[in-house]
Amino acid sequence: MIAFASKHNLSGKLSVPGSKSHTIRAVLIAAMAKGLSTIKNPLPSQDCLSATRAARAFGSDVKIEKGVWTIKSSPEGLKIPDDVIDCGNSGTTFYFATAISGTLSDYVVLTGDYQIRRRPVVKLLEAMRELGAFAVTTRSDSDAAPVIVKGPMRAGTIVFDGKMSQYISGMLLASARLEGKTRIEVQKAIERPYLQMTVDWMCKHGIEVKYDEKNYSFFEVEGPQNYKPVDTAIPSDWESVAFPLVAALVTDSELVIEDLDLSGSQGDAVIIDILKEMGGNVTLNRSSNSLKAVGGTKLRGITIDCSDIPDALPILSVAACYAEGDTVLTGIESIRVKETDRVEVMKRELSKMGASIEDTDHQMIIHGGKKLTGAKVQSHDDHRVAMSLSVAGLFSEGVTEVSNAECVSVSFPGFFELMNSVGAGFQTK
């Protein structure tokens, strides 16, 4: 599918769907819990549906209805999958399910789409081997899926450099099922809000976790502990809020975004503070769990540390193109090994539209305030890239064509339709 974007202003109200990160954790922990869990307001995106496939592979009965998913785990506990677990495009599902597979006593094979089959996994497999698992890639010359895992792991101490929070979260989830104390040491934790999210979900399901609440330098879990089933609701997704929010600020718009998650459980909520620092007119209303964004004012370049909010880099780079002066995005190392090298991809595609961008191993520098012109750009099958480039088209001269735009369904199904309900004027074919 090709999405066409041109200059449009936004007006009205909208609500974004539930959180992908929360939904995947809810699904996979429910598969490990003994009994029936109910998940309200789940995100029915492709990544989250990949998590339900993994839950089914582990023996859970999963029922998907509009607005409510139920997951009833197998009475015998996690089962050995009778087929390969296909994690689709979901890195979170792949890393979490790989670690969980290390608690089982027979072989499990896990893979994903072509992007997952390029994303690094060896450091996770090395940690699993240190705890006694058999864990290898199927290709000796590749640091990526498919992988073969056989446990069970034993409790012990492992060390991660902290560059990939999904490795740490996956091993945390698995550690509750191991006999004895598992200690995970982290040399320099980034993406810390995601680590906290994992701990919070484990605690919600009755697991006791001891950890460094300030720096996330270590986690300890004494096992085995049983995950308890819960009845829970998924909060709205701040990663998705970022797209209409930035779209409103870079156009002459007035937009209200409702049903926000103001619990502090998602690190990407800091996008409000970042955009305010850039000069954005954003007003948060805690009494109504909503915000109002008014565009038409100039933004200014600032320095932004993306180490805890890696998924925000694509849309922040678009805001930076609109802003006057230089914006410097730091803490970008882990962002290069997401669905794509998002630093390189956003630099390449925005440059086609006239942006001036430089990058090093450690930072991305956007020389903002330059006029953008519509161009034919590629999503690289990356949902956040597709949405970000579409937003860029809303303040660019002419028409921007975004290829393979259907990939937005990975995290934000109905993105184009929802944005069009407030005047975005996107066309697709």
- Strand (E) positions, 202-264? 210-211, 218-223, 231-233, 254-258
Residue 263 has a pLDDT of 83
**pLDDT tens sequence across 332-355:** 988 988 878 999 999 999 999 999
Distance of CA 34 to the CA centre of its chain: 27
**pLDDT tens sequence across 389-418:** 999 999 999 999 999 999 999 999 999 999
**pLDDT tens sequence across 198-240:** 999 999 999 999 999 999 999 999 999 999 999 999 999 999 9
Q: In what order do the strands lie in the sheet with 290-294?
A: 11-15, 254-258, 290-294, 281-285
Sign of CA dihedral 212, 213, 214, 219: positive
Has 268 been annotated as catalytic? no
pTM of the model: 0.91
- Which residues, other chains included, contact 211 with Cβ-Cβ below 8 Å and sequence gap of 6+? 199, 218, 219, 220
- Which residues, other chains included, contact 273 with Cβ-Cβ below 8 Å and sequence gap of 6+? none
**pLDDT tens sequence across 43-61:** 999 999 999 999 999 999 9
Q: Helix, strand or coil for residue 237?
A: coil
Instruction: Name residue, tokens 């303040």.
Output: 395
Residues counted in the chain: 429
**pLDDT tens sequence across 130-148:** 999 999 999 999 999 999 9
Region 371-384: mean pLDDT is 97
Q: Which residue out of 311, 326, 359, 381 is catalytically annotated?
A: 311
The tokens for 272 are: 């409000």
d(CA 318, CA 92): 25
